[in-house]
Structure 1
Amino acid sequence: MKKTIPAIFCLLLANVFLTMAQSGDLKNFPKGTDPLDVGKRVSQRYVSIPFRNFDGIKSPPNEVTYPEVCTWFGALKFAKESGDKKLLRQLEERFFPLLGSQKHLMQRPDHVDHTVFGSVPLQLYMQTGNELYYYIGIDFADRQWQMPESTKHAEQYQNFLDRGLSWQTRFWIDDMFMISTIQSQAYLASKDEKYINRAAYQMTVYLDSIQQPNGLFFHAKEAPFFWCRGNGWMAAGMAELLRNLPKDNPDRPRILKEYEKMMETLRKYRNEEGLWGQLVDQPDAWTETSGSAMFTYAIITGVKNGWLDSKVYAPIARKAWIALNTYINEDNDLREVCMGTNVGTSKEYYLARKRIVGDLHGQAPILWCATALLEK
């Protein structure tokens, strides 16, 4: 006799899945969107291609660019969280040429976008125990707060240092991901709180200087536009800092408050897909995936660490992650990534920016999200 599943059981099962979706379950995902699988695919895509230039430019780069660093760093964190020793070896082997045949590509800590490079050797040190990586990385972190040898702009640099800030201070919205990441990694590797403390203080000064009343950030003072990826850098930077910042740090309450304010505003500006537009507050803006992935990372991290109400924000994170996966093509490249963008003077300038496939600005935060979802 053929057995059938009782209707009441089917109804109960349907209710279970509905409850999971409504509660924002961050462990069980539809086929093709499992963070372990996605992270593996995107990581392998990364290691399969040599160092890249900016914005899909085909010519070889003359440096390891900061989007490359952010992707490399994300892949390393994913390797650790997933326990993927093969991937770790591949990522470490990627570093070897920078010590020899490709040493001209290694960054120098002479600019905020260059100094973030130090996060890669510091993460390698923490996973392999090779002290060579430690000394390379910690030098980058130290020199971010040391007067450069060049005397050009010395007075301005000294003014920042006298205020307890990095001499690399620019008050640009991507700075506080770059600074928070290298200084957080230096803290984790060395156990010296001076690194994380100065990054936290730097963050409060940036918040005082450039955060708007709604919690978002203009691209620049002369560009009063809430550009998606620019805000993504700040959201991810605050999340990265808060997840590593000791609970007793005096600047923590202020940073957490402003983070929460930003997340609340982002909650209100989601589009129908559950993602965010190229200009966050403009309903006619096209969905921009790199900034959306950075926001998603910041929200996942907030939910996982208890900073955000899981009943409100976990469903947002879940929907955003699933939606982002619809933009990953068969080559494991993220589509609809805004090309590198300088300060614009009109809404039209931002909406007309070229959209790139597989740009590392987008690959990086996909890996951050996958890792954050795997974390306990």
Structure 2
Amino acid sequence: MKKKTFPILLLIFLLAIGCSKKSPIEKVTKVFEKVKSETIFNLVEVEQKQIKGLNILDFGIEFPEEKHAAFFAKSSVISGEKQQVEIGSSSNIPFAVFVNGKKQFVQPKRRSFEFREIAYDIFNFQDSFNLDFNKGNNEIVIQTLSGERPKIYLKEISPPGKELKLKFGKWVFSKSLRNNFTKTLDLSDLNWQNKKLVMQHSIETPKVRTYPREANNEWTYSNGAAILGLMNIYNYNNDESLYNYVKQFCDFTLTNYDLLRKDYFDNNSLRCADYRMFRKAMLDDTGAPTLPLILIYQKTKDEKYIPLINEMAEYVSHGQARLSDGTLCRPEPVEMTVWADDMFMSAPMLLRVALINDDKSMADDAVKQILNIHNYLWDEKAELHKHAWFDDVKEQSQIFWSRANGWIIWAVTDALQFLPKESESYNKVMKIYNKIIRGIIKYQDTDGIWHQVLNNPTSFGETSGSAMFTMAIAAGVNNGWLDNSYKDHALKGWKAISRKISNDGIVKDICRGTGIGYDEEFYMKRKRFPNDPRGLGALFTCAVEVEKLMKDQ
């Protein structure tokens, strides 16, 4: 028995040594293989998913053959108390709203339908009005006048993330020859039908997968960042499997564009596959998600990618809200908020499209975002960036979030590789780079990791931010921006990060997508999902820079 035990233990020991000697790129290639194995390039039809609390009354879908009828829709509404609630609506047809038999609102105009989701859980409607509800069950009835494919959206207006006061039941529909609004509601002559089942296209995903949320080939900023990381590996080692995956990703997006556009706009499938591409409400929808198409175009020069690249670039340049000085901002959590994240969501895309289109103004805009966002968010005492700037009160947010600082240093590091070294812009961005590096190394823990809240070592060691910082330091040494004394910070960082990666390609401790928090607790309690792509792109890029660093030793 003892004779058999020794060889087994020796084998385990040798396997452990072998694993520990994997190069950074070998280590993260396992992660890529895991992601690839859980990616299916196929659309499936599923029952339509919808934005929470949004009621879509599309009479053209319910009664496709009716061209001249007026329509009714009816539902129950449960209210926790007797209250008045503000409702937002968009419509292309005159309509009246009755609650418990009483007419409470009339929209009298025939007009074009306009509705926009302008940020996470924030919407622009054409109208807003108050409705009175009793405690308990209420009946709501919508009556339209006749018209071509009448459509109405209704939603309770509430702050993002807050529980809704009302709970709507299922809607039923009827058609009518009545074409005027009366004071009293008579429904006795109407025949009601249930809402039709509407299908939408979604990206097929495995029944069991590591990352449980968006598909790995969905149009998202996180997948855009992950693809950037993969192409950084490909540009280093010419691994064709990486290139083929990225090209398949891009071609899948383009192939399904028209079908999904029809889903989104014609069938009201506001959560169909790649819906962010059509929502175009923020830089998260338009900047970083476009990177895969840009990178493949730069490789193939295939013009089929250009229209969508330019569509998204137009939004980044002219569609996103800005402060008076041109700094990109968002309407959340309050109007005119500058986010650290948006330096990465904008600058890498702008710099690359500037090259494609030979458009210096886009490169200048990228530099402007880097300089301005840094100036708004930099805390001189801590030598870190805050997560946000609230322009309405001229104040920074309170917390030094790891990935917020990471997005910034990644964008800065990326920009230095595009700007002409003799330019004033390069020198200005380089000064910012050096300031950030001097600050960030102070917050590296003794084991090499950086924490979720950078100045709070009791917060968890966070993988995505740590990868971004390690990548930036290693790139600095590799490019001669930093002297060799910084090598140890990069190598310690990689050692800590590599402990977060299992042998079967699963990365842990990546903070989920995170809005602007007002206190430490918000950041400390954020969920972590394995193989969240919000950390993978930085991890892949980090592996390249650390491997270069190790080879130069």
Would you say same fold, with TM above 0.5? Answer: yes
1:182 aligns to 2:343 (yes or no): no
Contact 2:339 2:388 in 1 (8 A): yes
1:75: which partner in 2?
A: 230
Q: Distance in 1 between matches of 2:431 and 2:407?
A: 17
Pairing partner for 2:388 from 220, 244, 248 = 220
Per-residue deviation at 1:68?
A: 1.3
Contact 2:448 2:495 in 1 (8 A): no
1:327 aligns to 2:500 (yes or no): yes
Alignment of 1:246-257 (within 5 A): 246-257=420-431
Per-residue deviation at 1:339?
A: 1.9
1:117 aligns to 2:289 (yes or no): yes
Residues 138 and 304 (structure 1 numbering): CA distance in 2 closer, same or farther, change over 3 Å?
A: farther
Alignment of 1:1-376 (within 5 A): 31-50=20-39, 56-58=211-213, 64-101=219-256, 104=260, 105-106=273-274, 107-108=277-278, 109-115=280-286, 116-147=288-319, 157=321, 160=323, 163-165=325-327, 170-213=337-380, 214-221=382-389, 223-309=397-483, 311-373=484-546
Per-residue deviation at 1:268?
A: 1.1
Per-residue deviation at 1:60?
A: 5.8
In structure 1, runs of 5+ residues without a counterpart are 1-28, 149-156
Per-residue CA distance 1:251-305 (angstroms, 9 max, x = gap): 3322221221111111111112111011111122221111111111111221122
* Greater helix proportion: 1
Per-residue deviation at 1:67?
A: 0.9
Q: Distance in 1 between matches of 2:356 and 2:544?
A: 19
Q: Distance in 2 between matches of 1:147 and 1:195?
A: 14
Q: Distance in 2 between matches of 1:31 and 1:193?
A: 46
Q: Distance in 2 between matches of 1:47 and 1:74?
A: 14
Residues 315 and 30 (structure 1 numbering): CA distance in 2 closer, same or farther, change over 3 Å?
A: farther
Contact 1:239 1:298 in 2 (8 A): yes
Q: Distance in 1 between matches of 2:460 and 2:367?
A: 33
Per-residue deviation at 1:41?
A: 2.1
Residues 190 and 215 (structure 1 numbering): CA distance in 2 closer, same or farther, change over 3 Å?
A: farther
Per-residue deviation at 1:365?
A: 0.9
Query: What SS does the aligned partner of 1:171 have?
Result: strand
Q: Distance in 2 between matches of 1:101 and 1:206?
A: 35
Q: Distance in 1 between matches of 2:388 and 2:359?
A: 33
Query: What SS does the aligned partner of 2:432 have?
Result: helix
Contact 1:145 1:166 in 2 (8 A): no
Contact 1:215 1:265 in 2 (8 A): yes
Q: Distance in 1 between matches of 2:346 and 2:512?
A: 22
Deviation larger for 137-146 or 87-96: 137-146
Q: Distance in 2 between matches of 1:355 and 1:372?
A: 25
Deviation larger for 260-269 or 165-174: 165-174
Query: What SS does the aligned partner of 2:495 have?
Result: helix
Contact 1:219 1:226 in 2 (8 A): yes
Per-residue deviation at 1:344?
A: 2.5
Q: Distance in 1 between matches of 2:242 and 2:512?
A: 28
Which protein shows a greater Rg? 2
Q: Distance in 1 between matches of 2:31 and 2:291?
A: 20
Query: What SS does the aligned partner of 1:338 have?
Result: coil
Contact 1:35 1:374 in 2 (8 A): yes
Contact 1:145 1:165 in 2 (8 A): no
Number of residue equivalences = 335
Instruction: List structure 1 segments (4+ residues) > 6 angstroms apart after TM superposition.
Output: none
Per-residue CA distance 1:165-208 (angstroms, 9 max, x = gap): 55878510100011111012213434443322220022111122
Q: Distance in 1 between matches of 2:350 and 2:547?
A: 24
Q: Distance in 1 between matches of 2:217 and 2:28?
A: 28
Residues 206 and 135 (structure 1 numbering): CA distance in 2 closer, same or farther, change over 3 Å?
A: same
Residues 319 and 60 (structure 1 numbering): CA distance in 2 closer, same or farther, change over 3 Å?
A: closer
Residues 111 and 88 (structure 1 numbering): CA distance in 2 closer, same or farther, change over 3 Å?
A: same
